[in-house]
């Protein structure tokens, strides 16, 4: 435990007060526990503590509270005895026990040693049930030999250097031959190429109009998916609208696909299901449990579902780790087949050499190898061994040189009205942080970068808020403007008008800045926001070793955003802590699928 002192809500007493003072439960958790106590008469300290801890677990990304693992959260506190705690909860008026009990009768549910907020249990159970039902379906009615022939034919349509690998062919075969499948792999392992192959094969096999939807979690990831797929299909006889039978819709966000409404409601549900015959979801690691439950409710049994992503990346901001759970548990093919519906692609086509070696060592939790590799400073990897501080950014000369070079390129393109070049310059380098605020956060490092640019570039920022070359991050969905939370852009001047050019392949979307109510300057970005993107070079700002955000998944995700160069700014202790600390998300899905 640290010596940090946390504010204790005045209504907190007993165990609630002790755990609030240690920072292990929040004020909202205390108030939830007290409210439920007032409503039901439950006043036992151990039960109210469990309520507050359950909410804290959800806020930390977990779906449930494992009662037998309190020691993994903190040490010197009066944790209840797990066995006695479970018995107290089982007899509490706040808790329903077992999976068979009716839904939504009480606010919490106890399943073995796992305590759920009822809403989270219902989402997990909905996903588990839907997956089980889809696995039990008879497989799609396709001739196995025809599938094999189509896969071979499509594989050889490409040049010799671009032929589908054996793993990619297996992924295509599996995705065509079953209702629910996963294509897993790290950055650059050919997931998009595999999706393109899947579409070609399906177009050869089907004999009727077949609707295909493409979706991802964020607008940025959806745009990247579309751009990559277009590039992969370019030059083939299936390019553009020349599909024989497929009707492939432009990639969009999952929320848009499901018709998200204020308050979390979805237009698409069991009563109004999605009309598509095939749904391909990219960046599945970012999909939360609640969103997955909504998606499964909106799927018809006869819709093929293909989930694509990297299970080793950071999970969703909200509770759940759906892709990681499914991959770790395994997923049988349809009709009770013992064959796995999960294909893992392992060969990276994006990068090799030092960046690949670094990513592999991080995933394998080899801290000594990571430190030795960084210390040897191979081409493409640099390490500034310092505790990061944006106040001292000018002492990191290579970093400031990258920031200034990038800034000059963005300003020059913005003044020339070249939106494509401005966006290309924006993606040449990205500073990635674990935190949003504080010494290690996006706010401080973004302000430090902007100060360097104002010193280095004559007239930089003098046009006011919407100055030319300003990099912008969209922070809220605006469907009427066709922009999404996570979209990035640059302020440019075109035909005398100030516009924000938003990333969208080779055809940037231009929007008036006066319509963008939710945006911020983006000289730095959180690692979470960077998912689904790639840059020529990244600078990774690691927090201190005590940061709870410092995990293997965060470090791996940050490093693998780079195509060519990675710079690490952080101490050896922070690197070792990141490499050896797995993100802990308590869920029951993996064990129950």
Instruction: Answer whether residue 309 shows pLDDT above 80.
Output: yes
* Per-residue confidence (pLDDT) for residue 87, from 0 to 100: 93
Instruction: Answer whether residue 484 shows pLDDT above 70.
Output: yes
**Mean pLDDT for the stretch of residues 28-37:** 90
Name the token pair of 592. 């129950």
Compute the distance between CA of residue 562 and CA of residue 547 in angstroms, rounded to an integer.
23
Lowest mean pLDDT among 5-9, 139-143, 245-249, 335-339: 5-9
For the chain, percent of residues with pLDDT exceeding 70 = 91
Compute the distance between CA of residue 226 and CA of residue 188 in angstroms, rounded to an integer.
15
The tokens 């008036």 sit on which residue? 512
* Pairing label, strands 252-253, 210-216: parallel
Residue 248, Ramachandran bin (φ over 0: left; ψ between -120 and 50: alpha; else beta): beta
DSSP per-residue codes, 466-526? T-TT-EEEE-S-BGGGTB-TT-EEEEEEETTEEEEEEPBTBSPEEE-GGG--SEEE-SEEE
* Per-residue confidence (pLDDT) for residue 591, from 0 to 100: 64
Maximum mean pLDDT: which of 7-16, 30-39, 64-73: 30-39
* Per-residue confidence (pLDDT) for residue 36, from 0 to 100: 92
Do the annotations mark residue 189 as ligand-binding? Answer: yes
Do the annotations mark residue 191 as ligand-binding? Answer: yes
**Mean pLDDT for the stretch of residues 132-137:** 88
Sign of the CA dihedral with 416 first, then 420, 422, and 425 last: negative
Instruction: Answer whether residue 572 shows pLDDT above 90.
Output: yes
Instruction: Answer whether residue 238 shows pLDDT above 50.
Output: no
Maximum mean pLDDT: which of 149-153, 205-209, 402-406, 457-461: 402-406
Average pLDDT, the chain: 85
Confidence of residue 505 (pLDDT cuts 50, 70, 90): low
Confidence of residue 304 (pLDDT cuts 50, 70, 90): very high
Instruction: Answer whether residue 160 shows pLDDT above 50.
Output: no
* Per-residue confidence (pLDDT) for residue 477, from 0 to 100: 74
**Mean pLDDT for the stretch of residues 192-196:** 87
User: What would the pLDDT profile of 266-297 be if each residue is shown by its tens digit?
Assistant: 888 888 999 999 999 998 988 889 999 999 99
Sequence-ordered list of residues with C-beta below 8 angstroms from that of 537, at least 6 positions apart, any chain? 402, 428, 429, 430, 562, 563, 564, 565, 566, 567
**Mean pLDDT for the stretch of residues 311-319:** 78
Neighbour tally for 314: CB within 10 Å: 24
More confident residue, 379 or 12: 379
Q: What is the DSSP letter of 349?
A: S
Sequence-ordered list of residues with C-beta below 8 angstroms from that of 362, at least 6 positions apart, any chain? 370, 552, 555, 556, 559, 578, 579
Instruction: Answer whether residue 74 shows pLDDT above 80.
Output: no
Do the annotations mark residue 186 as ligand-binding? Answer: yes
Confidence of residue 369 (pLDDT cuts 50, 70, 90): very high
Instruction: Answer whether residue 437 shows pLDDT above 90.
Output: no
The residue among 445, 444, 464, 448 whose CA lies nearest residue 456 is: 448
**Mean pLDDT for the stretch of residues 452-477:** 86
Whole-prediction pTM: 0.84
**Mean pLDDT for the stretch of residues 29-48:** 90
Do the annotations mark residue 185 as ligand-binding? Answer: yes
Do the annotations mark residue 187 as ligand-binding? Answer: yes
Task: Please provide the size of the chain in residues.
Answer: 593
* Per-residue confidence (pLDDT) for residue 48, from 0 to 100: 92
The tokens 């039978």 sit on which residue? 245
* Per-residue confidence (pLDDT) for residue 158, from 0 to 100: 60
For the chain, percent of residues with pLDDT exceeding 90 = 29
Helical H segments across 364-441, by residue range: 367-375, 397-416, 419-426
Instruction: Answer whether residue 236 shows pLDDT above 60.
Output: no
**Mean pLDDT for the stretch of residues 334-338:** 70
């Amino acid at each position: 435990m640290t010596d940090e002192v946390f504010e204790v809500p005045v209504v907190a007493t007993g165990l609630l007060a002790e755990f609030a003072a240690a920072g292990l439960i929040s004020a909202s958790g205390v108030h939830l526990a007290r409210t439920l106590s007032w409503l039901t008469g439950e006043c036992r300290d151990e039960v109210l503590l469990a309520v507050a801890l359950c909410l804290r677990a959800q806020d930390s990304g977990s779906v449930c509270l494992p009662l037998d693992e309190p020691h993994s959260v903190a040490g010197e506190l009066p944790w209840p005895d797990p066995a006695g705690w479970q018995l107290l909860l089982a007899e509490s008026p706040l808790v329903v026990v077992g999976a068979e009990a009716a839904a939504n009768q009480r606010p919490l549910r106890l399943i073995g040693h796992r305590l759920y907020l009822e809403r989270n249990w219902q989402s997990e159970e909905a996903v588990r049930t839907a997956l089980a039902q889809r696995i039990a379906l008879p497989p799609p009615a396709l001739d196995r030999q025809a599938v094999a022939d189509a896969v071979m034919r499509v594989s050889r349509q490409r040049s010799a250097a671009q032929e589908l690998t054996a793993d990619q062919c297996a992924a295509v075969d599996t995705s065509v031959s079953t209702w629910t499948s996963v294509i897993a792999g790290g950055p650059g392992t050919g997931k998009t190429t595999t999706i393109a192959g899947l579409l070609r094969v399906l177009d050869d096999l089907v004999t009727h109009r077949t609707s295909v939807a493409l979706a991802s979690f964020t607008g940025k990831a959806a745009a990247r998916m579309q751009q990559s797929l277009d590039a992969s299909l370019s030059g083939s006889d299936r390019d553009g609208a020349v599909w024989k039978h497929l009707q492939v819709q432009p990639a969009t966000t999952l929320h848009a696909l499901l018709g998200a409404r204020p308050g979390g409601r979805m237009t698409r549900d069991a009563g109004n299901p999605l009309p598509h015959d095939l749904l391909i979801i990219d960046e599945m690691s970012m999909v939360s449990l609640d969103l997955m439950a909504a998606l499964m409710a909106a799927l018809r049994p006869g819709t093929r579902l293909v989930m694509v992503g990297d299970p080793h990346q950071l999970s969703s901001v909200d509770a759940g780790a759906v892709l990681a759970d499914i991959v770790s548990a395994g997923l049988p093919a349809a009709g009770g087949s013992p064959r796995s519906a999960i294909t893992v692609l392992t060969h990276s086509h994006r990068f090799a050499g030092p960046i690949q070696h670094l990513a592999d060592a991080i995933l394998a939790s080899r801290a000594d190898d990571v430190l030795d590799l960084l210390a040897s400073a191979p081409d493409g990897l640099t390490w500034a061994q310092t505790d990061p501080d944006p106040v001292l950014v000018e002492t990191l000369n290579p970093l400031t040189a990258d920031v200034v070079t990038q800034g000059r390129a963005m300003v020059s393109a913005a003044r020339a009205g070249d939106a494509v070049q401005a966006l290309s310059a924006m993606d040449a380098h990205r500073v990635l942080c674990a935190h949003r605020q504080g010494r290690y956060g996006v706010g401080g490092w973004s302000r430090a970068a902007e100060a360097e640019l104002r010193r280095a570039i004559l007239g930089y920022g003098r046009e006011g808020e919407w100055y030319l070359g300003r990099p912008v991050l969209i922070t809220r969905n605006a469907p009427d403007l066709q922009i999404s939370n996570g979209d990035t852009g640059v302020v440019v001047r075109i035909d005398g008008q100030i516009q924000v050019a938003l990333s969208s392949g080779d055809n940037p979307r231009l929007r008036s800045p006066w319509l963008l109510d939710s945006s911020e300057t983006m000289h730095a970005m959180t690692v979470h926001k960077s998912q689904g993107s790639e840059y020529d070079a990244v600078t990774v700002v690691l927090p201190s070793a005590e940061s709870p955000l410092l995990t293997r998944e965060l470090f791996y995700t940050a490093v693998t955003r780079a195509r060519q160069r990675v710079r690490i700014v952080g101490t050896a202790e922070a690197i070792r802590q990141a490499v050896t600390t797995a993100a802990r998300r308590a869920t029951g899905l993996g064990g129950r699928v």
